[in-house]
Amino acid sequence: MSTNRAYNFNPGPATLPLEVLEEFKDRFMNFGGLSLFEISHRSKEFEGILEDAKHLLTELMNIPKGYTVLFLQGGASLQFAMVPLNLMDKKAAYSITGYWSGKAASEAKTVGEVEAAFTSEGANFNRTPKPSEVRPSGSYLHITTNNTIHGTQYRQFPDTGAIPLVADASSDIASRVIEVSKFGLIYAGAQKNLGPAGLTIVIIRDDLIKKSFRTLPAILKYSTHAENNSLYNTPPVSAIYMMKLVLSWLKKKGGLPAIEKENTTKAGLIYDVLDKSGFYKTAAERESRSLMNITFTLPSEDATERFLSEAKKSGLIGLKGHRITGGIRASVYNAFPMEGARTLAQFMKKFEGQQ
């Protein structure tokens, strides 16, 4: 496989490790005499893949006993519905720190009452809350750990006491060390840090699995998927295999402590340019800055378009900010190379100097 690859700053699907892509390529056409896309999800071969992936995720995230790992489909969007359908009695609290947490709250309102435990909407979602600012109530508190559009991330998680803490960790799962035991449920799409699109990870505390307050179709119940070892319906076989390879790669790198240190350094290269610049502006408060998605603006739309055009010519792609915010967004997930962050930082300084 050619290593002449562009630096992919897209918010997701995101960069995958080159060595993982190489290994996947080798197994794609020959996995026990079949293509990887052809093996049965009921086969012993896939059973081994599934268990290996669960074991690796459990080991790397230090998931304690009393939790179950599920591999589902439907992305975070389906979890926006499954969480309240399964866990909400009459009311739940949502911390609103951006577009996706707002969307999760809107979906929950179709099930029951939603209370805003915190919102930074009045400040254009430029920060995440301090733990003391969040007011848990109802059946659970829902947070979005990293906000891809606005470039903010929780540094500390609220203490919810007996109220389960539910987290959408789609854009920063396995990017840093967290204490899983603080959470009742964590869910995440795999396509930013753990693999390709099509796979959703759910980590749920066992006492919440059957805590449903309403009659639901079987496929929408966490208990169904737990009782069937994530095989109630045909799982995304190739995506789970790819995730297993990514998790193995992550383990070889030294696990979450090592990748957290690397991610901090990568993001720091870009934030350092922003902090020393009078040209680029970043809205996210320093204490809430994301290590995954670095957002900033230029003085004009014309300057932004020229920046994007020249960046693309330099092999830096996917830097256009979300339509809500405009500007620039550099997504530097786990597999994004250090050299790519260094190259962007150098490009930013050069572009500013030419203005």
The catalytic site residues sit at 100, 168, 192
Residue 207 · residue 24 · CB < 8 Å: no
- Name beta bridge partners: 166: 142, 185
Place of tokens 């994301």: 290
181 vs 171: CA distance, rounded Å: 20
In terms of Cα–Cα distance, which of 318, 317, 278, 269 is closest to 299?
A: 278
For 1, residues 6+ apart whose C-beta sits below 8 A from its C-beta are 18, 21, 22, 25
What are the backbone angles phi and psi of residue 256, rounded to the nearest 5°? -65, -35
In terms of Cα–Cα distance, which of 189, 221, 190 is closest to 208?
A: 221
What are the backbone angles phi and psi of residue 304, rounded to the nearest 5°? -60, -45
Integer CA distances (angstroms), 304 to 144, 182, 282, 293, 316, in order: 28, 41, 14, 17, 14
Task: Looking at the chain, list the stretches that DSSP marks H as alpha helix, in order from N- to C-terminal side.
Answer: 18-28, 44-61, 75-87, 99-108, 206-209, 222-227, 237-252, 255-276, 301-313, 338-353
Structure tokens at 215: 């009659």
3-state secondary structure of 315: coil
In terms of Cα–Cα distance, which of 173, 208, 216, 179 is closest to 78?
A: 216
